[in-house]
Structure 1
């Protein structure tokens, strides 16, 4: 591609006089500038979240992420749908679907549900959103480890799913999976006691996921043992 200079235009169009060359260069520059400022299609950018909210049961996994979406171009970009995937995990781990758009990161009982809806990110602007994802079935129960996660989007001007962001989800920081609360998505130096509690809680969820009857059986066994101990000990 020839550089946009008067000499280049003169070489490409030798019949144009010198004054005309300058006019052509000015016209090309004006059109290109107008397109760049007003009509250029950019792309969406996002960044790794510093925190997340999570609750995990044997039949449900729900994650809430704070996301910032930046449109690098001049034209608005329409976001039709979002999902959270784990590309390095087995195919049986279905994507977590976008189920709501809450107003904050910390879950609370007074929240009003806000169902997913198509939205647009204006040109050269950024939006902060809180997006809640949930596994439709019990196909994903996080272990106490790091996961490679991807935010994928369906955009109005493109077909299919597009990867918006790839980041590390540190599920090892989930120390109380039964409570819907916020955790830092950073490599924290947890105490040995907190790490032991987190590992035990998440491993118990994995056992329940593999055998739903296990929790009741364990409780019955524990109850029987307690009764037996009561009867034999003074």
Structure 2
């Protein structure tokens, strides 16, 4: 009788042991996938400074970007662009033309043409990216712009959103010179806005004349 009871108890314990073993296997496989094979996405962070120039050749905007890969697998960035989603001309783009060593433009800041690059799994990559639109396609105004940074990545056909931030273009008090500015509102004076507005309006008038000719 006791032998039959023991045999029945052992047989009833087998399914429980199998369930525990199965759960352990699932946990192991899921952990391996999460740590080593999960496809993540790219994110970035609001820049607090920028370099810019606007003249009768082009408008150039250089941004300090940190791009972070949330997943385990590397992601290849094939292209970058700036878009202005709130502007009437929603097709307006500033294209990635070069990557530099520093934010401040000078003769020794390096010059690397736009080229694909990888972002390793759970890694962050800092880049000083230069975007450009030819004159007279885009002349900024002395105001805030909502700007979206987008990336074309190797495992997707469409553009992927990295971040949206406010570009304080009114800081461009000397738009004809390629210099750095803070991208904050707290140190923007009314005199700065007036100076930037006057200079950019003069350039906008030249752009309008060029488009009309």
- Per the TM superposition, whether the score is higher than 0.5 is yes
Query: Separation in 1 of the partners of 2:13 and 2:136?
Result: 73
> Partner residue of 1:178?
176
Q: Which moved more, 1:45-54 or 1:57-66?
A: 57-66
**1:62–1:133 CA contact under 8 A, matched in 2:** yes
The answer to whether residue 143 in structure 2 is matched with residue 148 in structure 1 is no
> Partner residue of 1:229?
none
**Which of 49, 67, 76 lines up with 1:51 in the alignment?**
49
**Which of 99, 102, 110 lines up with 2:100 in the alignment?**
102
Query: Separation in 2 of the partners of 1:92 and 1:148?
Result: 11
1:103 CA drift (Å):
0.3
The equivalences for 1:1-234 within 5 A come to 17-91=15-89, 94-212=92-210
1:17 CA drift (Å):
1.1
1:15 CA drift (Å):
11
Give per-residue Cα distances to partners, 1:33-67, cap 9 Å, x unaligned. 00000000111110110000000013410000000
Q: How many residues align?
A: 200
Query: Separation in 1 of the partners of 2:135 and 2:32?
Result: 49
When you count strand as a share of all residues, which structure comes out higher?
2
Query: Separation in 1 of the partners of 2:188 and 2:38?
Result: 47
- Give unpaired runs (5+ residues) of structure 2: 1-11
Q: Which ranges of 4 or more aligned residues in structure 1 deviate by more than 4 Å?
A: none
Give per-residue Cα distances to partners, 1:115-139, cap 9 Å, x unaligned. 1111010001101110000004521
- Other structure's SS at 2:77 match: strand
Query: Separation in 1 of the partners of 2:168 and 2:51?
Result: 11
TM score, norm. by length of structure 2: 0.88
1:31 CA drift (Å):
0.4
Query: Separation in 1 of the partners of 2:90 and 2:33?
Result: 45
Query: Separation in 2 of the partners of 1:92 and 1:137?
Result: 17
- Other structure's SS at 1:144 match: coil
1:101 CA drift (Å):
0.5
> Partner residue of 1:11?
none
Query: Separation in 2 of the partners of 1:45 and 1:120?
Result: 14
